[in-house]
Structure 1
């Protein structure tokens, strides 16, 4: 979608690292998170951790919430 929207035509330097990472087989040093909605999942994590630090949830409850909310957000982003 980003490419189709013309983002890289306006910002060609932003495509260079993507081409470098995607142009060859992954190695131990190049494998990483490729999550379409990483900012949303990160927000979910932060929200749940804040609840834990405020004493509203145990650590286990916060982690369980991150897993369930994060998985739901990923499924939604992937169209499942």
Structure 2
């Protein structure tokens, strides 16, 4: 995923963060910048988790990178919602 460049990270991260927030029902709470941040951090989280299971995420391309970001974004939003509901 490092080969995507900064523009690729922003585009894929933004889309994945936005769709992830729709899936988790948090879209009303966040704007475009937070969607991008959630998507990019979700991509890092998803890439880390998939690499633990032996999945080659670096040479998979745009499509798989998007799903990696989406998976990570949903997991990240789930964790944030769990922490918020405890307080």
Answer yes or no: same fold by TM over 0.5.
no
> What TM-score does the superposition give when structure 2 sets the normalisation length?
0.33
Whichever structure has more helix as a proportion of its residues is 2
